[in-house]
Amino acid sequence: MSIAARLMAVLTALTTVISGGGELRKPTTPEPPAAEEWLSPTELCEEIVIGWNLGNTLDATGGSGLSSETSWGNPKAAEELILAVKEAGFNAVRIPTTWYNHCSGSEYTIDSEWLDRVQEVVDYAYDNDLYVILNAHHENFNFPSDENYPKAKKALTCIWKQVAERFADYGERLIFEGQNEPRKVGTNVEWNGGDYEGRKNVNKLNADFVATVRATGGNNEKRCLMVPTYAAAFYALDGFELPDDDRLIVSIHAYSPYNFAMNTGNWATDNFDPNDSNSTSELVTMADTLYDRFVSKGVGVIIGECGATNKGNAAQRLNWAKYFPACFGKKGIPVFLWDNHAFGTGGEKFGLINRYSLTWEYPDYIKALVNSAKKA
C-alpha cells in the first residue's frame, strides 16, 4: 500500500469515528508464528529407517581423559565414518557414551574437554541430517537396588542435568536415552529379567531421568526421551512402568532369536530360516507385543541394539538380515545395529564397517539390512 493510500485509510477511519459511525481500533499486531510442531514419539520412530551404533568408542572405560575413546582398540570417531554410514542407507546413529569416569566431585561435574568431544561427535551426525541417540552407557553407579538408589539417583540426575543443558537447543532429531541395560551386575538375576527390587528401581531411575531433563527447559521440554526396561530386555516387561510423560520411547535390545544371534554355547544354532516358525516366532512375538503394549498407545519403541554375531554362517546371517528389520519396521519399530568393530568368528563379533578403511566388511549383509528396513 502506498503512503498516500495509508493516509487516506487513517483519515477515513477518523472521520467515521467523529461522525459516530464507528469505533477507532488500535492497529492489530500480526499473530506470532505457531510454535514448531514436533513429531510425536511414534511419528519420530516412523521417520527412522535404520540405525547404527558407534560401539566401544565413547563408551570405552579404559585410559583417562580423552584417551578413553581409543582405550578399547578402536580409532577416534571421525566425521568421514558417519558419512560412510549415512551413504550406506542408515539415517540414524546411536552414540553410546560413558560419563562416570569423566566426572569429579560430589556433584559429578563432567570434564569440559569430554563434554566438548561428545558434542563434536554428536555434531558429526546431527549436522549431516541424521537422527541421533545420545545415552549413558557403561555407568558404574546405577546398580538398581534399594540400598544403592540414593547414590544412583544423585549421579544420574547430576550427569543428565549437565548433558541436557549442553544440548538444550538441539532439535527433535536428538534423542536422549537415560540408561543402558540397567541391571544387577554380577548377580544371578543380571540377565534373566531381574527381580522385583531391580525392576522397581529401574523404573524410579527412569522417572528421575525424565524429570531432570524436562526441568532444564528449552527444547528439552518436548524432546523424545528413551527409557529402558531392566537390562533393556523384552522379557523384563512385567513390572515395567513408564514415567508420567507423553513423549517417551521404550528402549529394548534384541540379539534375537538368541540361540542364532548371540548364543555360541549350548542350544546355539547357526541356522535362520525365515519360512520356519522355529526361527521367526521369537521375533514375531516380540514385535507384536511391543506394538500392542506401546506403539498402539502412542508410545515409541526402538530396538536400540541388535545384530547376529558372525559364526562363519554368511548365508544364514543374510537370511536374518532380510527378515529382522522388516519384522519390527512393519510395527513402526526401527532397529539399530550394534557395531563394536570386532571381526572374525566366535564370541561377540558384531563388527560391520572397518573404521580405518571406511569399507563394509560384509556389504551384502548391510544392503540386505537396509533394504529390509526400507521395505517395512
Q: Which residues are catalytic?
A: 181, 305
C-alpha cell at 92: 540414524
| DSSP string over 232-276 | G-GGG-TT----S-SSEEEEEEE--SHHHHT--STT--S---TT-
CA angle 176, 178, 180 (to 5 degrees): 115
Q: How open is the CA angle 267-270-274, to the nearest 5 degrees?
A: 105
Question: Do the Cβ atoms of 361 and 317 come closer than 8 Å?
Answer: no
| ∠ CA 181-184-190, rounded to 5° | 75
Q: Which residues contact 216 (CB under 8 A, 6 or more apart)?
A: 161, 164, 165, 168
CA 345 – CA 169 distance, rounded (Å): 43
- Report whether 317 contacts 310 (CB < 8 A): yes
